[in-house]
Amino acid sequence: MIEIFGISLQAMLSQLLLGLVNGSFYAMLSLGLAVIFGLLNVINMAHGAFYMMGAFLAWMGLNYFGLNYWVMLITAPLLAGVFGMVIEKTLLRWLYQLDHLYGLLLTFGITLMLEGLFRSFYGTSGQPYSVPELLAGATNLGFMMLPNYRAWVVVASLVVCFATWFAIEKTKLGAYLRAGTENPKLVEAFGINVPLMVTLTYGFGVALAAFAGVLAAPVIQVSPLMGSDLIIVVFAVVVIGGMGSIMGSIIIGLALGVIEGLTRVFYPELSATVVFIIMVIVLTLRPAGLFGKEK
Amino acid sequence: MNKKVGYAIALAAALAAPFVVYPVFLMQVLCFALFACAFNLLIGFTGLLSFGHAAFFGGAGYVTGYALKSMGLPFELGLALGIVAAAAIGLIMGSLAIRRQGIYFAMITLALAQMLFFVYLQAPFTDGENGLQGVPRGRLLGSIDLGNDMTLYYVVLAIAIAGFALIARTIHSPFGQVLKAIKENEARAISLGYDVDRYKLLAFVLSAALSGLAGATKTVVLGLETLTDVHWSMSGLVVLMTLVGGLGTLAGPIVGAIVIVALENKVGDVGNWLAALTSIEWFRSIGESVTMVTGFIFIVCVLAFRRGIVGEIGALFSRTSTR
Amino acid sequence: MNAVKYPQVLEGKEQNMEKALEIANLHAWYGESHILHDVNLSVNQGEVVALLGRNGVGRTTTLRAIMGLTGTRKGSITIGGTEAIDLPTHKIAHLGVGYCPEERGIFSSLSAEENMLLPPSVSKTDKGMPVEEIYDMFPNLQERKSSQGTRLSGGEQQMLAVARILRTGARLFLLDEISEGLAPVIVQALARMITMLKAKGYTIVMVEQNFRFAAPLADRFYVMEHGQIIEGFTAAELEANMPVLHELLGV
Q: Is the pLDDT of residue A173 over 80?
A: yes
- How far is the first Cα of chain C from the last one, in angstroms, to the nearest whole number? 20
What are the backbone angles phi and psi of residue B318, rounded to the nearest 5°? -70, -25
**Nearest residue to A52 (alpha-carbon basis) of A122, A114, A132:** A114
Q: Residue A255, Cα to own-chain centre: how many angstroms?
A: 14
Q: With CB atoms and an 8 Å threshold, state whether A188 touches C90.
A: yes
pLDDT at C181 (0 to 100) = 81
Cβ atoms of B206 and B91 within 8 Å: the answer is no
Does C99 score more than 70 pLDDT? yes
User: What tens digit of pLDDT does each residue of A217-266 get?
Assistant: 999 889 998 998 899 999 999 889 887 788 888 999 999 999 999 998 88
Backbone angles phi, psi at C236, to 5 degrees: -65, -30
- In this prediction, residue A5 carries a pLDDT of 67
Say if strands C73-79 and C21-30 run parallel, antiparallel, or are unpaired. Answer: antiparallel
Q: How far is CA A68 from CA A50, A60, A64, A152, A219, in A?
A: 20, 10, 11, 16, 16
Let me know if B87 is exposed, middle or buried by CB neighbors in 10 A (0-12, 13-18, 19+).
buried
pLDDT band at C2 (very low <50, low <70, confident <90, very high): very low
* pLDDT grade for A144, boundaries at 50, 70 and 90: confident
Average pLDDT, chain A: 89
Is B272:B287 a contact under the CB 8 Å cutoff?
yes
* Pairwise CB contact (< 8 Å): A175 & C118: yes
Residue C96's region, left for phi above 0, alpha for psi from -120 to 50, else beta, is: left
Q: What is the rounded distance in angstroms from the CA atom of residue B264 to the CA atom of residue B242?
A: 15
Q: What is the DSSP letter of A67?
A: -
pLDDT of B159 above 90: yes
Gap between the Cα atoms of B40 and B45, Å rounded: 7
CB of A226 closer than 8 Å to CB of A55: yes
Reduced to 3 states, what is the DSSP secondary structure of residue A104?
helix
Task: Tally helices (H) and strands (E) across chain C.
Answer: 10, 10
Q: Does C5 have pLDDT greater than 70?
A: no
Order of all β-strands in the sheet with C97-100: C97-100, C172-176, C203-207, C48-52, C220-225, C228-234
Q: Report whether pLDDT(B57) > 70.
A: yes
- Give the closest residue to A53 by CA, choosing from A113, A109, A108, A105: A113
> A268 CB near a chain B CB, below 8 Å?
no
Which of C94, C109, C122 is nearest residue A182 as measured by Cβ atoms? C109
3-state secondary structure of B225: strand
Q: In whole angstroms, what is the distance from residue C100 CA to residue C200 CA?
A: 19
Residue C89 CA: distances (Å) to CA of A118, A153, A244, C99:
41, 43, 28, 11
Average pLDDT of span C172-200: 90
Give pLDDT, residue C10: 45
What's the rounded Cα separation, in Å, for the pair A234 and B15? 47
pLDDT for A98 beyond 50: yes
Which residues from B are below 8 Å from A108, CB to CB?
236, 239, 295, 298
How much is the pTM? 0.89
* Chain A contact set for B103 (CB, 8 A): 37, 43, 100-101, 104, 295
pLDDT digits (tens, 9 = 90+) for B181-215: 988 888 888 899 888 899 999 999 999 999 999 99
C66, C174 Cβ separation under 8 angstroms: yes
The confidence band for B287, taking pLDDT boundaries of 50, 70 and 90, is low
Report the amino acid identity of residue A111. Answer: T
Nearest CA in chain A to B307: A102
What is the number of H-type helices and E-type strands within chain B? 13, 2
- Kindly report which listed range (A3-12, B49-58, C188-197) carries the lowest average pLDDT score: A3-12
User: Do A287 and B122 make contact, defined as CB atoms within 8 angstroms?
Assistant: no
Phi, psi of C21 (to 5 degrees): -150, 130
Q: How far is the CA of A201 from the CAs of A197, A208, B206, in angstroms?
A: 6, 11, 40
| Max mean pLDDT range (B199-208, C119-128, C209-218) | B199-208
Q: ∠A288-A292-A295 over CA atoms, to 5°?
A: 85
Considering CB atoms only, which of A189, A194, A195 is closest to C67?
Answer: A189
Compute the distance between CA of residue A30 and CA of residue A24 in angstroms, rounded to an integer: 10
* Portion 75-134 of C in contact with A at CB < 8 A: 88-90, 92-94, 99, 101, 105, 107-110, 114, 117-120, 122
**Which residues, at least 6 apart from B250, have a Cβ–Cβ distance to it below 8 Å?**
B37, B164, B167, B168, B171
Closest CA to A230 of A84, A111, A76: A111
Q: List, in sequence order, every beta strand (DSSP E) within B56-191.
A: 139-140, 144-145
CA-to-CA distance for A20 and A11, rounded, in angstroms? 14
pLDDT in tens, B290-321: 788 888 988 999 999 888 888 888 888 777 66
Q: How far apart are CA B156 and CA B65, in angstroms?
A: 16
Answer whether residue C11 shows pLDDT above 60: no
Measured CA to CA, the distance from residue B115 to residue B232 in angstroms comes to: 11
CB B52 within 8 A of CB B234: no
Rounded to the nearest integer, the mean pLDDT of chain B is 87
| Mean pLDDT (whole number) for B109-122 | 91
% residues pLDDT > 70 (chain B): 97
Q: How much is the mean pLDDT over chain C?
A: 88
- Which among C20, C27, C73 is positioned nearest to C203, based on CA atoms? C20
Contact B271, B63 (CB under 8 A): no
DSSP B71: S
Amino acid residing at A135: L
Of B55, B68, B28, nearest to B121 (Cα)? B55
d(CA A225, CA A218): 16
At position A278, the amino acid (one-letter code) is I
CA angle C190, C195, C197 (to 5 degrees): 90
Disruptive mutation site among A30, A44, A52, A108 for chain B (greatest number of B CBs within 10 Å): A108
pLDDT of residue A2: 63
Residues 71-130 of A with CB under 8 A from B: 91, 94-95, 98, 100-102, 104-106, 108-117, 119-121
- Give the DSSP H or E segment for C34: strand C33-43
C-alpha torsion sign, points C62, C67, C69, C73? positive
State which amino acid sits at residue A49: A
Q: pLDDT band for B266, please (50, 70, 90 cuts).
A: confident
Residues in chain A closer than 8 A to C67 (CB atoms): 189
Instruction: Between A87 and B1, name the one with better pLDDT.
Output: A87
Greater confidence (A293 vs C234) lies with C234
Q: What is the pLDDT of residue C8?
A: 42
How many CB pairs below 8 Å do chains A and C form together? 58
- Provide CB contacts within 8 A for C239, sequence distance 6+: none
Q: What percent of chain C is modeled with pLDDT above 70?
A: 93
| CA pair distance A216, C7, nearest whole angstrom | 71
Chain B partners of A120 at a C-beta cutoff of 8 Å? 282, 285-286, 288-289, 292
CB–CB of C224/C28 below 8 Å? no
Phi, psi of C16 (to 5 degrees): -75, -30
Arithmetic mean of pLDDT, C92-109: 93
Which is more confident, B99 or C101? C101
Per-residue pLDDT tens for A4-26? 666 677 788 888 888 999 999 99
In the predicted structure, residue C7 carries a pLDDT above the cut 60: no
Of A146-150, A229-233, B266-270, C61-65, where does the model show the most confidence? C61-65
